[in-house]
Amino acid sequence: MQQAYRWKSNDLCNNAALMLKSLHHVPIALMDVALGEVARVLRPGGHLYVSEPVYDGALNSIVRLFNDEGEVRAAAQSAVDRALHTGAWQQVAEQRFDMPVHYADFQTFEQRMMRPTFADHALTPALIQHVAEAFAPHCGPDGAHFTRPMHVRLLRRCQESQPA
């Protein structure tokens, strides 16, 4: 895995690139650079698959209590929109769907979502309690079932255009 805005790859040498729930984790100021880097390393006709979570739904309402990604998720979609206006890309498909998400219990949710190895959410006992209270109504005998709304865009690297 590489930083999207600093690829160690030759120009025009890859057939495809995947950004799976990752563009919104690129610093906002570097999102355009990241998409330019993808355009640089993809062969003409190559594809970029961008899958980003939508800022909506019951799961999002809980997660945003400790990790509000509203601004960065909107910025990621805007960056893709801007990339399409550079002439380097053509959008060939777009799909929205709900991805099922299951947690056996709050402890599983807390470990996976609140305490990832790559982020510090500045958790306090009061915040954990608040999130647990928001999570509790979604729990049943077999855990908590959610859907995560997703937005996928498939872009094709244009034949004649150079990346911006």
Assess if residue 60 is contained within a domain: yes
Question: No. of H helices and E strands in the chain?
Answer: 5, 5
Report the percent of the chain where pLDDT is more than 70.
90
Q: What is residue 136's predicted lDDT score, i.e. its pLDDT?
A: 99
What is the mean predicted confidence (pLDDT) over 13-21? 92
Assess if residue 7 is contained within a domain: no
Q: What is residue 6's predicted lDDT score, i.e. its pLDDT?
A: 59
Q: What angle do CA 15, 20, 23 make, to 5 degrees?
A: 95
Assess if residue 5 is contained within a domain: no
pLDDT exceeds cutoff 50 at 19 = yes
Higher pLDDT, 2 or 47: 47
pTM attached to this predicted model = 0.87
Assess if residue 8 is contained within a domain: no
Model confidence band, residue 128 (pLDDT cutoffs 50, 70, 90): very high
Assess if residue 138 is contained within a domain: yes
Assess if residue 163 is contained within a domain: no
Assess if residue 24 is contained within a domain: yes
Residue 111: CATH number of its domain: 3.40.50.150
pLDDT, tens digit (0-9, with 9 covering 90-100), for 56-104: 999 999 999 999 999 999 999 999 999 999 999 999 999 999 999 999 9
Q: What is residue 160's predicted lDDT score, i.e. its pLDDT?
A: 63
Q: What is residue 7's predicted lDDT score, i.e. its pLDDT?
A: 60
Q: How far is CA 44 from CA 38, 55, 89, 97, 131, in A?
A: 11, 32, 10, 28, 46
Assess if residue 3 is contained within a domain: no
- Domain count for the chain, please give it: 1
pLDDT exceeds cutoff 70 at 3 = no
Between strands 143-157 and 139-140, the pairing is antiparallel
Q: What is residue 40's predicted lDDT score, i.e. its pLDDT?
A: 93
Higher pLDDT, 11 or 136: 136
Contact partners, residue 128, CB within 8 Å, separation at least 6: 110, 114
Domain coverage including residue 61: 14-157
pLDDT exceeds cutoff 90 at 109 = yes
Model confidence band, residue 1 (pLDDT cutoffs 50, 70, 90): very low
